[in-house]
Amino acid sequence: MRRAISRSASASTAENGDDYRAIVKNSDGSRTTQWGTLDVVAAPLITKNPASTKTLHRGQQFSFSSAASGDPAPVPTWQISLDGGTTWQVLSTGRSDVSFSLPSVPPASGAEEPATTRAATVRPATAKPQDLVRVIYQNAYGTATSKTAVLAFADSYPDVGVAASVSPNPVVAGTAAAATVTVGDYSGVRATKVIAVSTFATSLGLKSIREVSGPKATCTTKSVHGGKAVSCSWATLSARSQAVFRASLMPAKKATNGAITVSATLAQHNGILGQATLTVPIAKPWADVQVSGTTKKSVKVGTEFADVLTVRDAGPSSATKVKVTAVLPANVKLVKKTTGGAKCRTVKATLTCTIASMKAGQLTRLTLLLKGVKKGVCDLVASVSSATVDYESVNNSLSLSTVIR
């Protein structure tokens, strides 16, 4: 028979795998059991904690090691916390050591951060970047958690990054658009002799570019093969600073796409590759038609109340054949409607309104005077569409809820 026992005073010298038997005696004699095998089990016990502190440069590799005893052999799981220990993420499982790297610190919290190829990170630049690492050993008989190791970061070289974005996106062929270019030093070390070159494809039609905030740069523009290049330089770029530029564009009428490429060089070693390429789609005229609304939270049955729908074309182009649909709930009656110039008709519980054309920025307000005829929740569902392409469909529908009591 095979069974497990714990070590005690009578078995202090027993080892895993030893054979044992029991001899039972009384006044009438004795009896001896069959031989068995001793299994000595033990919950995990940390024998080596990861180093308490590591101070390394951002973006470099971090390595930790650990050890633990236990029977059966416990399995280690490494974890990291980026929020001071509130939550933990798994780094690796099954090894007593771990190696990993973390991205560089991003722009300061609240600063504009256009779409870019820059690596994402969850650590705010305004806080002292101290992440935590630990290892948990586990077997069938228990769990042991190591002491927490602190990752303290140090800056010894600059981290100059660049980014670019456009508005609207996609831009419209033959219609004015704007681009934003950002150059920043995201480390705690000042960068020297920084040069950033932004190249705009010919199809984007660069008209002008100016710096709107940040350390003042000296810039020149020249024509290059395939477009225009804007070169801006700084003798020094302060730590954790950003220079932001706005460019005026006029995309060619027959163009379908373009590109903005931004690259940066500096005198020192750079902590991250200072380069970004933004591919800009150029579409035929499109519009962002959207609907919003207001209503009462609750009314008494038999009371009249108004649901107000506001239809707007947010541009960048005019919208044609705009159609608004509102489905009335069964527990209300439509008393009156004010259409704001739209042509409307009601079929059963569905109100349909059409607007021949809306210019960019134009809005039309529809007011539906309703009367609650039955207690319950009144949900009016409305939507808007147009014959013009709309890339922002998230704002094309809504539901207005009123409780009739």
Q: Does 292 reside within a domain?
A: yes
The answer to whether position 307 is within a domain reads: yes
Q: Is the domain of 274 the same as that of 293?
A: no
Per-residue model confidence as pLDDT tens digits over 231-289 = 999 999 998 899 999 999 999 988 889 999 999 999 987 755 678 889 999 988 889 99
Please tell me whether the overall predicted TM-score, pTM, comes out greater than 0.85 for this model. Answer: no
Question: Are 295 and 250 in the same domain?
Answer: no
The position carrying tokens 């569905």 is 350
How would residue 184 be classed by pLDDT, with cut points 50, 70 and 90? Answer: very high
User: Of 17-21, 82-86, 96-100, 207-211, which gets the smallest average pLDDT?
Assistant: 17-21
How far does Cα 163 stand from its chain's mean position?
Answer: 17
Higher pLDDT, 64 or 326: 326
User: Could you say which of 283, 306, 327 is where a domain stops?
Assistant: 283
Residue 188 phi, psi (nearest 5): -100, 15
Token reading at 355? 């607007």
**In the prediction, which pLDDT does 114 show?**
33
Q: Are residues 339 and 361 in the same domain?
A: yes
CA distances from 267 to 84, 160, 192 (A): 35, 11, 6
- For residue 192, being part of any structural domain is answered with yes
Q: Among positive and negative, which fits the CA dihedral 119, 123, 129, 134?
A: negative
CA–CA distance, 194 with 229 (Å, rounded to integer): 16
The string of pLDDT tens digits covering residues 218-231 is: 999 999 999 999 99
Both 257 and 164 in one domain: the answer is yes
Radius of gyration from C-alpha coordinates of the chain: 35
> Same domain, yes or no, for 208 and 222?
yes
372 and 316 in one domain?
A: yes
Residue with tokens 């658009």: 177
Among 264, 283, 302, where does a domain finish? 283
* The three-state (H, E, C) secondary structure of 170-187, written as one string: CEECCCCEEEEEEEEECC
Collect all residues with Cβ–Cβ distance below 8 Å to 321 and sequence separation of at least 6.
354, 356, 357, 386, 387, 388
Q: Is residue 27 in some structural domain? A: no
List C-alpha distances in Å: 66 to 44, 46, 71, 97, 157: 13, 8, 17, 6, 31
Given this model, what pLDDT does residue 132 score?
Answer: 87
What is the spatial order of strands in the sheet that 177-185 belongs to? 160-167, 177-185, 241-249, 206-213
Residue 30 lies in a domain: no
Confidence of residue 315 (pLDDT cuts 50, 70, 90): confident
Region 26-54 average pLDDT: 74
Regarding whether 343 and 301 lie in a shared domain, the answer is yes
Q: How far apart are CA 325 and CA 353, in angstroms?
A: 6
> In this structure, what CATH number is given to the domain that contains residue 371?
2.60.40.1530
Q: How far apart are CA 332 and CA 330, in angstroms?
A: 6
pLDDT band at 83 (very low <50, low <70, confident <90, very high): confident
The pLDDT tens digits for 338-393 are 988 899 999 989 999 999 999 999 999 999 999 999 999 999 999 999 999 888 88
Looking at the structure, do residues 318 and 205 belong to the same domain, yes or no? no
What does the alpha-carbon distance between residue 234 and residue 196 come to, in Å, rounded to a whole number? 9
- Output the average pLDDT for the chain: 83
Q: Are 325 and 382 in contact (CB under 8 A)?
A: yes
Are the C-beta atoms of 354 and 321 separated by less than 8 Å? yes
d(CA 194, CA 219): 12
Q: Residue 235 falls within a domain, yes or no?
A: yes
Domain assignment of residue 8, yes or no: no
Does 144 reside within a domain?
yes
Does one domain contain both 223 and 322? Answer: no
| CATH number of the structural domain spanning residue 70 | 2.60.40.10
Same domain membership, residue 174 and residue 134: no
Handedness of CA 363, 365, 366, 371 (dihedral sign): positive
- Determine the average pLDDT of the residues in 26-51: 75
Q: Out of 224, 257, 283, pick the residue that ends a domain.
A: 283
In which domain, by residue range, is 372 found? Answer: 287-404
Average pLDDT in the 307-313 region?
A: 96
Q: Looking at 14-18, 105-109, 235-239, 251-255, which range is the least confident one? A: 105-109
Q: Are residues 279 and 293 in the same domain?
A: no
CATH of residue 218's domain is 2.60.40.1510
pLDDT at 133 over 70: yes
Let me know whether 352 and 371 are in one domain.
yes
Please tell me which residue, 349 or 155, carries the higher pLDDT value: 349
Structure confidence at residue 369 (pLDDT): 95
Q: How many domains does the chain have?
A: 3
Mean pLDDT of 76-88: 86
